DNA sequence: AGCAGGTGTTTTATCTGTAAACGACTGCGT
DNA sequence: ACGCAGTCGTTTACAGATAAAACACCTGCT
């Protein structure tokens, strides 16, 4: 089924999702649990990884959504409007408004009104904000690298490629639905 | 639209995470963005899949955490205490208390006090609760299958195996940390 | 010019989850 | 028997997210 041949160890047997799937099979023997083995694992991995990721951020006094917002400003290199930030961080406009308020009070971002259209605001990182992001990011990536070191480099590449395929097609097809 | 022509499209180049990684590279050329390509994609996939999954549940008037709780009762086949449910659904005890209150009011679960230890309660599905879960689950799996049909069966198996490997090792090593 | 309709942002009400404190209870050691 | 440490579940207070509506402003049409 899964392992073609050669390796006897089936790694999918040792995680909690596999246990859940086995439980379902004993209760509903005919059920096609294929989707659960992917979706359940993606969800569980995301939960564990996020929890791990939060540690270095908390140390810097930032929540993950806040860091995402600052990161969006840092990586684009130019000013963004609140609407841009909402799209970029996949969150609602209301959430962005709240975060901007807090981050502005902490002196990490600055706002500037648009001269042409007085509805829109332009947000940019302050020097302190940029330094904070640049200070955290390497530490964050180093930490993530450590977490992922449970996999071999080949397994990592393979996984990244497969996830990229899924994500690409998912964003393609689900994105169409929304439009 | 996607691939110019001739070469098969590299799917990892078409997702939003790849775009983000490219942005980081232009700003911090030396950065090792390897971890982002996995963690970022896992998070994004989880967000999209959860959003897709919620549609059929909403139709039945359940939130995902509520369905997880009912599902835990259904698949284990026997009664569980609130503490068991918290562990089984990876949520806090307080959250379980709240959900049990609502689900009890809706007549989907029943509580029974332990005779031996009066602190603990035993929770079980009512007939209505079991029928609800059994009615939703196939529909849910069918929907998930449709969403995942963007991948070939081989890609699905491969992805499930890789995720199982990551999850197994993650739960192994991070689980140690917590203990 | 004036108004209808659309867009960008903020506000409000509401809901959910978590952390911390709490009350109830058991069971062990003395 | 008594008390104390530890466990289980619930309650409370609070931070955070979301959806709906309000608000301010622009643009195109007449």
A123 CA – C8 C1', rounded, Å? 14
pLDDT digit string, tens, across residues B119-169: 999 999 999 999 999 999 998 899 899 889 989 999 899 999 999 999 998
pLDDT at B2 over 80: no
Mean pLDDT of chain B: 88
List bases in chain D with any atom under 7 Å of a protein Cβ. 7-12, 16-20, 24-27
Burial class (CB in 10 A: 0-12, 13-18, 19+), B55: exposed
Instruction: Write down the pTM of the prediction.
Output: 0.86
Classify B52 as helix, strand or coil: helix
Minimal C-alpha gap between B138 and chain A (Å): 8
Q: Which residue in B41, B47, B170 is closest to A48 by CB distance?
A: B170
Residues contacting B39, CB < 8 A, separation 6+: A49, A53, A144, A148
A99 CA – C3 C1', rounded, Å? 36
Model confidence at B56, in pLDDT bands (50, 70, 90)?
A: confident
Q: How far apart are CA A1 and CA A13, in angstroms?
A: 13
A105 touches strand D (CB under 7 A): no
Q: Judge contact between B17 and A167, C-beta under 8 A.
A: yes
pLDDT digit string, tens, across residues B10-19: 555 678 999 9
A113 CA – D28 C1', rounded, Å? 24
Least Cα distance to B58 among B123, B136, B120, B5 occurs for B136
Q: Which nucleotide is nearest to A64 (CA to C1')?
A: D16
Q: What is the largest CA-CA distance in chain B?
A: 72
B129 touches strand D (CB under 7 A): no
Residues contacting B136, CB < 8 A, separation 6+: B56, B57, B60, B62, B67
Per-residue pLDDT at A10:
54
B106 CA – C24 C1', rounded, Å? 27
pLDDT at B22 over 50: yes
Q: How far apart are CA B50 and CA A43, in angstroms?
A: 8
Q: How far apart are CA B167 and CA A12, in angstroms?
A: 8
C-beta atoms of B45 and A170 within 8 A: yes
Q: Which residue in A28, A162, A172 is closest to B155 by CB distance?
A: A162
pLDDT in tens, chain A (179 residues): 444 444 445 555 678 999 999 999 999 998 999 999 999 999 999 999 998 888 888 888 899 999 999 999 999 999 999 999 999 999 999 999 999 999 999 999 999 998 889 899 999 999 999 999 999 999 889 989 988 998 999 999 999 999 999 998 888 776 554 43
B47 interaction partners in chain A (CB closer than 8 Å)? 46, 90
Per-residue pLDDT at B86:
94
From A78, which residue of chain B is nearest by alpha-carbon distance?
A: B27
pLDDT at B5 over 70: no
Minimal C-alpha gap between B116 and chain A (Å): 28
Q: How far apart are CA A18 and CA A20, in angstroms?
A: 5
C-beta atoms of B41 and A174 within 8 A: no
Beta-bridged to residue B113, according to DSSP, are B121
B49 interaction partners in chain A (CB closer than 8 Å)? 39, 42-43, 170
B104 touches strand D (CB under 7 A): no
List bases in chain C with any atom under 7 Å of a protein Cβ. 7-12, 16-20, 23-27
Least Cα distance to B77 among B133, B21, B143, B146 occurs for B133
Per-residue pLDDT at B169:
87
C-beta atoms of B148 and A90 within 8 A: no
Per-residue pLDDT at A12:
59
Per-residue pLDDT at B37:
93
- In a mutational test of the A interface, the residue from B87, B166, B174 whose CB has the highest number of chain A CBs within 10 Å is B166
Question: Residue range B21-28: average pLDDT?
Answer: 94
């Amino acid at each position: 089924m899964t392992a073609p041949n050669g390796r006897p160890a089936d790694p999918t047997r040792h995680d909690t999702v596999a246990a859940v799937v086995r439980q379902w099979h004993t209760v509903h023997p005919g059920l096609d649990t294929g989707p659960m083995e992917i979706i359940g694992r993606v969800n569980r991995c995301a939960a564990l990884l996020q929890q791990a990721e939060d540690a270095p951020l908390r140390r810097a006094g930032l929540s993950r959504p806040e860091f995402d917002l600052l990161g969006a400003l840092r990586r684009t290199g130019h000013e963004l409007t609140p609407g841009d930030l909402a799209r970029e961080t996949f969150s609602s406009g209301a959430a962005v408004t709240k975060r901007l308020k807090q981050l502005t009070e902490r002196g990490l971002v600055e706002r500037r009104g648009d001269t042409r259209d007085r509805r829109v605001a332009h947000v940019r990182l302050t020097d302190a904000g940029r330094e904070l992001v640049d200070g955290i990011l390497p530490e964050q990536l180093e930490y993530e690298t450590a977490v992922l070191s449970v996999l071999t480099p080949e397994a990592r590449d393979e996984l990244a490629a497969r996830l990229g395929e899924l994500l690409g097609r998912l964003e393609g097809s689900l994105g169409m639905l929304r439009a």
